[in-house]
Structure 1
Amino acid sequence: MDHSQKATVPSGIAELAEEMTMWRRDLHAHPELGYEEVRTSDIVARKLEAWGLEVHRGIGRTGVVGVLRGRPGNRAIGLRADMDALAMEEANDMPHRSRTPNRMHACGHDGHTAMLLGAAKYLAETRRFAGTVNFFFQPAEEGLAGAKAMLDDGLLERFPCDGVYTIHNDPDTELGQVNIRAGGMLAAVDYFEVTIRGKGCHGAQPHLGIDPVVATAQVVLAIQSIASRRTNPTDTVVVSIGQINGGSSNIVIPEHVTLRGSVRTLKRETRDQAEAWFRAAVEGAVASQGAAADISYQRAYPPTINTPAEADIATRAARDTVGAANILPNQPSFMAGDDFAFMLERSPGAYAFFGQRTQERGGVALHNPHYDFNDDLLPVGAGYFATLVEQTLASDPTEM
């Protein structure tokens, strides 16, 4: 971070820093998995109600929406925070460590929730905007598509928005720096399971069988050519195999082998091509060995693609929060996925990464048992949300 430019947040947000830290640490100590966020969503809903927001529970099962109206105005925006934790055992030793076995806030969703609550409290007290702010507290981001569940419950029909916005903490980036731009921020993530069926036989007589292990080796090589030989070098496809399972004896050629993995792409059209190439590569490889394959290809999350106008809006709010020198507009896309992408398929909007690393804290990777959200990011993130609202929903376009 350019330390000559400290984060500029509204004074009311700065005054909430200690309170947001208390909320965040309480949520961290009581993590809940996707669609199990009963305590978390109740805390969120009660706070929003206490601050005078119109509150709707049970959207996407455990999701919560808070509606805040300012001065008369026709425009509306949505601000989203994810609430769920991961099925991990926390390795930290601190007063607010997880009190629930095999449950941990290892991705910072406790911080995302706390900072959006802080923004909601500040905006409810000040209401220096014209129009409506919809606060989306989303369940089940971690692989369970909670954003889609909220959309399936009519989220954007019931709470229409001119744009939707969210942020994610980034331990790889310094506190006070923001990665935001138009275009692809995160990848589409799709999962595959392939069962390669051969004919089992004794290892001393391989000619009497059809070896699914050899066929699997051919498949592994064939699907890696999707990135190196089928995809335009200026585009990106990542094919990763995480599991290969087969056989139970070192002297018997098995009947079948199963492999599982993921395919990640940044463009919608490349995603379609990658699936077709994957199926063709698998089928061709197994056929060359006389084997057969059962292919399950599950489309999980689409790519997270910021729309240009909303990326500009988000960039301005971020710039006015952390300073122009701390905006990182040319960072490479991150090949993980986020289900906020479903919202961006239905509405214009923008996703931003906010750095949280300092020399003292915040640098442990996401999904690591030693991870903890850096509380110094709370007023920065809440300040960004508040600034975004006050700029985007200014009563007169000339004020923007």
Structure 2
Amino acid sequence: MASITVRHMAAPPATVSRHAGKQPEKPSDMDIAKRYCEIGDLAEAAEELRAIRHQIHQHPELAYEELETAALVAHKLAAWGYEVTTGVGHTGVVGTLKVGDGKRSIGIRADMDALPIHEQTGLPYASQRHGKMHACGHDGHTTMLLGAAQYLAATRRFSGTVHLYFQPAEEHGINSGALSMIRDGLFERFPCDAVFGMHNHPGAPAGTLLFRSGPFQAAGDNVYITIKGRGGHAARPHLTVDPVVVASSIVTGLQTIVARNVEPGQAAVVTVGVLQAGSANNVIPHSARLELSVRSFSPEVRALLKERITSLVQQQAASYGAQAEIEYLMGYPVVINSERETAFAIQVAQELVGEDKVVPHTAQLMGSEDFAYMLQQRPGCYLRIGNGDGEDGCMVHNPGYDFNDHNLPVGAAYWARLAERFLSQTPAG
């Protein structure tokens, strides 16, 4: 897809504020109140943000199909005075806002794609597209960043450059949107000193911000296994090689890998999400198919899992006289947050919502996330925002899930404040 750049007249430069010294200085309470975004500053925009989120929710688009969502984002950004580039990594959008003469730049990312799930929420703004829904909250992620974009363009209380990365295809698993944008020159064309991203977190109170420095979310690999046996009549199993029995044995055997091969202090998951075989109860099929999701945090454990899964599957199949074909795809790497940027992001969160609503060292998560590719290119931090607990905390990738609208002004204010604070500091070095 071709890239389109839209330019608008720049607004008058805002007052530039700087802090001397190599390390970012914590502002005084008076400075915070005077200069940086508060949640209340987004109160008037809350209803507009809900309308935008509900519009995106009603019209979900799968990976690399986000044409309508990308057009909406591009239109909003252009109207607010951003330089807008579309078609980055196929359907990605980047909005750029430069204010003053500051040399620093920040990148903030939101994902836009939906999932192939049929929505069952019964909400008035439920998906209008059968078999597609925003079951992971990307509609909320996109809207929070749009809210920050509108606020930053209106106030311009920073000096430097803000790049907003609206990314496609986070759910793709392989050849993801983050990787596509990077391969399309994201950080060369729209460079930043640090990059930040956010995901909602069901199970934590809405508006709570969760952080972890270092390894945070697991690497995720996908394994596709085809068991080839010899089909036949269900009444004469002795003349067949039953791939259903083989597959069942493999599923049981796979459960021993983490329990008996991975060091107990290490985290790992091997999940069989698909087992397909046969179509009639009086027919032994010729083949069976397994699909696995494999999660880990260390390169050593990741390599061990691949070796043990491959060996176990092949040997189990051979022991029954069957054959196994294995496609092992290395997926997203580990999300590793840099220490300095995470400490800064925590500080901004504590200023905004208070220390009681900030978890600075939350538990590691076995879910994977392609923002990891961006963190391989630039220092930064990936954080979580509580989506609600109890009945409001429905897990993502569930047909009953919905993003919590309470988070829209909170997340937008956080991104705005983070950008203002980041671009008010003198770079270290």
Using the size of structure 2 for normalisation, the TM-score is 0.84
> What secondary structure sits across from 2:222 in the alignment?
strand
> What secondary structure sits across from 2:120 in the alignment?
coil
Q: Distance in 1 between matches of 2:278 and 2:123?
A: 44
Q: Distance in 1 between matches of 2:306 and 2:120?
A: 38
Q: Distance in 1 between matches of 2:184 and 2:427?
A: 33
Q: Distance in 2 between matches of 1:395 and 1:236?
A: 38
> What secondary structure sits across from 1:384 in the alignment?
helix
Q: Distance in 2 between matches of 1:305 and 1:255?
A: 44
Label 1:11 to 1:280 Cα distance change in 2 as closer, same or farther (>3 A): same
Q: Distance in 2 between matches of 1:142 and 1:20?
A: 24
Q: Distance in 2 between matches of 1:54 and 1:295?
A: 46
Q: Distance in 2 between matches of 1:221 and 1:186?
A: 26
Matched, 1:349 2:380: yes
More displaced, 207-216 or 169-178? 207-216
Matched, 1:55 2:84: yes
Matched, 1:305 2:336: yes
Matched, 1:388 2:418: yes
Label 1:81 to 1:224 Cα distance change in 2 as closer, same or farther (>3 A): same
Q: Distance in 2 between matches of 1:182 and 1:142?
A: 24
> What secondary structure sits across from 1:142 in the alignment?
helix
After TM superposition, give the deviation of residue 273 of structure 1 in Å. 2.4
- TM-superposition CA deviations, 1:274-322 (whole Å, max 9, x none): 1122112222222333332111112232222212222112111222122
Q: Is the contact between residue 230 and residue 242 of structure 2 (CA under 8 Å) also seen in structure 1?
A: yes
Label 1:95 to 1:214 Cα distance change in 2 as closer, same or farther (>3 A): closer
Q: How does 1:1-400 map to 2 (within 5 A)?
A: 9=38, 11-143=40-172, 145-200=176-231, 209-248=240-279, 250=281, 253-357=284-388, 362-396=392-426
- TM-superposition CA deviations, 1:189-247 (whole Å, max 9, x none): 21112122234456666565544344334322332222011111111111111222334
Q: Distance in 2 between matches of 1:237 and 1:59?
A: 34
Q: Is the contact between residue 9 and residue 379 of structure 1 (CA under 8 Å) also seen in structure 2?
A: no
The answer for unaligned runs of 5 or more in structure 2 is 1-36
> What secondary structure sits across from 1:168 in the alignment?
strand
Report what 1:3 is aligned to.
none
> What secondary structure sits across from 1:375 in the alignment?
coil
After TM superposition, give the deviation of residue 255 of structure 1 in Å. 3.4
Q: Distance in 2 between matches of 1:46 and 1:81?
A: 16
Q: Distance in 1 between matches of 2:66 and 2:240?
A: 51
More displaced, 179-188 or 350-359? 350-359
Q: Distance in 2 between matches of 1:27 and 1:203?
A: 50
Q: Distance in 2 between matches of 1:161 and 1:332?
A: 28
Report what 2:15 is aligned to.
none
Label 1:232 to 1:358 Cα distance change in 2 as closer, same or farther (>3 A): closer
Q: Is the contact between residue 39 and residue 352 of structure 2 (CA under 8 Å) also seen in structure 1?
A: no
> What secondary structure sits across from 2:407 in the alignment?
helix
Label 1:213 to 1:87 Cα distance change in 2 as closer, same or farther (>3 A): closer
Q: Is the contact between residue 207 and residue 406 of structure 2 (CA under 8 Å) also seen in structure 1?
A: no
After TM superposition, give the deviation of residue 358 of structure 1 in Å. 6.3
RMSD: 2.3
Q: Is the contact between residue 141 and residue 198 of structure 2 (CA under 8 Å) also seen in structure 1?
A: yes
Amino acid across the alignment from 1:235? Q
Q: Is the contact between residue 213 and residue 361 of structure 2 (CA under 8 Å) also seen in structure 1?
A: no
> What secondary structure sits across from 1:161 in the alignment?
coil
Q: Is the contact between residue 177 and residue 355 of structure 1 (CA under 8 Å) also seen in structure 2?
A: yes
After TM superposition, give the deviation of residue 172 of structure 1 in Å. 1.0
After TM superposition, give the deviation of residue 261 of structure 1 in Å. 1.8
After TM superposition, give the deviation of residue 330 of structure 1 in Å. 3.6
Q: Is the contact between residue 99 and residue 158 of structure 2 (CA under 8 Å) also seen in structure 1?
A: yes
> What secondary structure sits across from 1:298 in the alignment?
strand
> What secondary structure sits across from 2:170 in the alignment?
coil
After TM superposition, give the deviation of residue 265 of structure 1 in Å. 1.3
Q: Distance in 1 between matches of 2:217 and 2:348?
A: 21
Label 1:396 to 1:349 Cα distance change in 2 as closer, same or farther (>3 A): closer
Q: Distance in 2 between matches of 1:261 and 1:173?
A: 28
Label 1:358 to 1:238 Cα distance change in 2 as closer, same or farther (>3 A): closer
Q: Distance in 2 between matches of 1:201 and 1:358?
A: 51
Label 1:217 to 1:38 Cα distance change in 2 as closer, same or farther (>3 A): closer
Q: Is the contact between residue 246 and residue 320 of structure 2 (CA under 8 Å) also seen in structure 1?
A: yes
The answer for unaligned runs of 5 or more in structure 1 is 1-7
> What secondary structure sits across from 1:72 in the alignment?
coil
- TM-superposition CA deviations, 1:113-154 (whole Å, max 9, x none): 111011111111222222211100111222251111111211
After TM superposition, give the deviation of residue 158 of structure 1 in Å. 0.9
Report what 1:4 is aligned to.
none
Instruction: Percent identity, please.
Output: 46
After TM superposition, give the deviation of residue 87 of structure 1 in Å. 2.4
Q: Distance in 2 between matches of 1:100 and 1:294?
A: 36
Q: Distance in 2 between matches of 1:249 and 1:111?
A: 44
